[in-house]
Chains A and B, each alone.
Chain A
Amino acid sequence: MSVRTLPLLFLNLGGEMLYILDQRLRAQNIPGDKARKDEWTEVDRKRVMNDIISTMFNRKFIEELLKPQELYSKKALRTVYDRLAHASIMRLNQASMDKLYDLMTMAFKYQILLCPRPRDVLLITFNHLDAIKGFIQDSPTIMHQVDETFRQLTEIYGGLSAGEFQLIRQTLLIFFQDLHIRVSIFLKDRVQNSNGRFVLPASGPVPWGTEVPGLIRMFNKKGEEVKKMEFKHGGNYSAAHKEGSLELYGDRVLKLGTNMYSVNRPVETHMSGASKNSASRTQESIAPNPLAKEELNFLARLMGGMEIKKPSGPEPGFRLNLFTTDEEEEQAALIRPEELSYEVINIQATQDQQRKEELARIMGELEITEQPRSSTSKGDDLLAMMDEL
């Protein structure tokens, strides 16, 4: 539909991802002096956040992202986030990555659905960007990248009409259609029902530019008001008191898109049982894949600009668990319903030899010829492997 949707989709989902990672990293935080070699510290957390954010806002990557293009499949998008989440020393198992993606998508779906005016999706995006800037306050270079992205977004979206924003919102809603994963924090806050549907309150302030419902005004031929009547609307609305600011710094007014997680509110998802109409969703995965080539091209272009920093020197990857225990994480992987599995695009399956090589190179999947060696300790093994690359 709208060819300007991808940047907003990507940045908002990315923002949610950072909120969740930040919360989990803090929850697993160990004071520096007490930490063992394989435990997270404050320094590690900041480093992971910095690495991911600087990869996300890399100039070449953003440039590729901002080109007018259609939305790609959920599979393709998920592959990009997989890569992004691994842009640093942090590692996530499949189950944790699945949970992360579930939370990200349901959070943004909620924000789009409750967005008062279509144009406010820009305010939601700016809320995410404001929070991202808060994560990297100590890094002026990355801060500059984010500000630059801000400016580019304002340039592209600042002048769009209400109709164009409506098309963007409709495109996003179609992308999120039929996703009803239940999220604990939403259930507890009563913004989501137990059937996975979001609560749409018939109260609160009306969007900026809308009047509170209930008034009927009548005019004569000359345009003079001749009569006023009221009718019972049924809702409980109040007037909007302020318009959110779209400046680089300003009061956004809207709370959607701000960080709803904190250390004390753990993030959990329940897998919503097989929906009555799983047919409508599985249609995407069983459809023949002549689109795979186009999607691979898209991934190659997008991730070509990603510039992932490979871990250098004697640093093993730290694993982050989105569940409370390792056992829980294993269990989650086993019980995940079939129709909710995210099949990450299998690069090896592509026919196009040249494209395959290019993509493999970009993804850093270099073939390493293995040689048997006697291991003395975990650390030494890794060191040795690094030397061979």
Chain B
Amino acid sequence: MFRRERSIPLRGSAAALCNNLSVLQLPARNLTHFGVVHGPSAQLLSAAPEGVPLAQRQLHAKEGAGVTPPLITQVHWCVLPFRVLLVLTSHRGIQMYESDGSVMVYWHALDSGDASPVQAVFARGIAASGHFICVGTWSGRVLVFDIPAKGPNIVLSEELYGHKTPVTDIATEPSQGQDCVVDMVTADDSGLLCVWRSGPEFTLLTRIPGFGVPCPSVQLWQGIIAAGYGNGQVRLYEATTGTLHIQINAHARAICALDLAPEMGKLLSAAEDTFVHIWKLSRSPESGYIEVEHCHGECVFDTQVCGARFFDPSGNSFAVTGYDLTEILRYSTV
């Protein structure tokens, strides 16, 4: 059972985007950072364990030619081996900051060269993979940036071709049994999932086709891919083979966010139907097959949820943002 905890007020309401909440847990400093996109600006704030807001900062998308200020699509913290960077993607490009958002260390302008006039140009989908940061784009290309241990010498090292429609989300996980070689899943608007092995060069291992609906959110845990779709389904695949093992009719509207608490294998799904569900993933000890168990469902009344994250590694507490909502809602187990 979960109960509502004290909400954290936001300066600007959350925009109706997917994956619109990023959380950075800093247990050593007894702090949690939250990041939410409002529209042309994003808000970062840090809070103490009881939810008392401590500091806040607003970031804006870098200006450019255009009629209206560029909109931000996503804000996300990337935890790398030696540093943490905050990445902000917009309709102009990719901005990277030190983790508190105080200093911009890198700017990459999107190349809209071969976009047709009817195509929206933007970056979306952010994940850390070893010492790389991967960012998706409107064309389907995934940009791989090599991040040094410190300083601004960030370099675009590779562009991955696997998708033909705009990238929605990227998930990564340190691969089992091997140091510093991580695995990655990228998802797009057509529902296609691409599974990659990272390295000095990334290799495409397998593709999992879509079925006519976008896949706005994806997670990866112990070789299990959890994908949330625009028709409310959560599907669990075996990452190495791409085989579908579990199909959950989880929500009545499009899923907008998935999150994982890696310690316990807890999966969180949030959708525009106002519900948040918590699931437990596991593997059968005999067959090795993926198993799932429904743990909890929460109705966030009259709120079109747009972001949701656990904010502790065992999945005992989670936070939610909603369209037009000027606060971050928090829930904890009793």
A residues neighboring B (CB under 8 Å): 1-4, 68-73, 113, 116-118, 161-164, 166-167, 169-170, 173-174, 177-178, 180, 193, 197-200, 202, 206-207, 209-221, 223, 231-235, 237, 276-277, 279-280, 287, 291, 294-295, 298
Contacts and interface: CB of A to CB of B under 8 A. Distances in A.
B321 to A, nearest CB: 13
Interface in B60-108: 66-69, 71, 91
A113 B253 contact: no
Contacts of A295: 67
Nearest to B326: A277
A50 to B, nearest CB: 33
A291 B275 contact: no
Contact of A199 (B16, B17, B302, B323): B302
Given A71-B68, A294-B67, A1 B165 contact: no
A113 B304 contact: yes
11 contacts: A4-B118, A173-B16, A199-B302, A212-B252, A213-B249, A213-B273, A216-B294, A218-B245, A219-B243, A234-B299, A279-B12
A234 B245 contact: no
**Residue among B10, B216, B248 having the largest count of chain A Cβ atoms under 10 Å:** B248
B292 interface: yes
Nearest to B39: A174
B180 interface: no
B190 interface: yes
Contacts of A72: 67-68
A202 B17 contact: no
A109 B250 CA distance: 26
A231 B294 contact: yes
A117 to B, nearest CB: 8
B226 interface: no
B118 A68 contact: yes
Given A70-B66, A167-B166, 10 more contacts: A3-B117, A68-B118, A69-B67, A162-B213, A202-B273, A211-B232, A220-B289, A223-B244, A234-B299, A235-B299
A174 B15 contact: yes
Given A166-B254, A197-B324, A219 B213 contact: no
A213 B232 contact: yes
Contact of B71 (A1, A197, A212, A276): A1
B252 A213 contact: yes
A251 to B, nearest CB: 22
B226 to A, nearest CB: 13
Given A68-B118, A209-B213, A211-B249, A223 B243 contact: yes
Contact of B302 (A1, A117, A161, A198): A198
B175 interface: no
Contacts of B248: 215-217, 231
Contacts of B190: 161, 163
Interface in B168-189: 168, 188-189
Contacts of A193: 302
Contacts of B53: none
A72 B69 CA distance: 11
Contact of A221 (B243, B302, B304): B243
A113 B16 CA distance: 10
Contacts of B247: 216-217, 219
B48 interface: no
Interface string B279-306: 0000000000101101001010111100
A170 B249 contact: no
A254 to B, nearest CB: 15
B120 interface: yes
A178 B324 contact: yes
Nearest to A231: B294
Given A1-B120, A3-B117, A277-B12, A200 B303 contact: yes
Nearest to A69: B67
B13 interface: yes
Given A200-B274, A277-B326, A211 B231 contact: yes
Contacts of A207: 231, 252-253
A151 to B, nearest CB: 18
B233 interface: yes
Given A1-B91, A167-B120, A276-B326, A235 B15 contact: no
Contacts of A294: 67
Nearest to B272: A200
Contacts of B244: 219, 223
B246 A177 contact: no
Contacts of A173: 15-16, 323
Given A202-B299, A216-B294, A277-B11, A68 B117 contact: yes
A332 B47 CA distance: 42
Given A210-B253, A279-B11, A216 B246 contact: yes
A22 to B, nearest CB: 30
Nearest to B69: A287
Nearest to B300: A200
Interface in B210-258: 212-214, 216, 230-233, 241, 243-254
B252 A235 contact: yes
A235 B275 contact: yes
A298 to B, nearest CB: 8
Contacts of B273: 200, 202, 213, 235
A232 B294 contact: yes
B12 A280 contact: yes
B38 interface: yes
A292 to B, nearest CB: 11
Contacts of A221: 241, 243
Contacts of B275: 202, 233-235
B139 to A, nearest CB: 13
Contacts of B303: 200
B189 A163 contact: yes
Contacts of A202: 252, 273-275, 299
A205 to B, nearest CB: 9
B211 to A, nearest CB: 10
Contacts of B253: 116, 207, 210
Contacts of B189: 161-164, 166
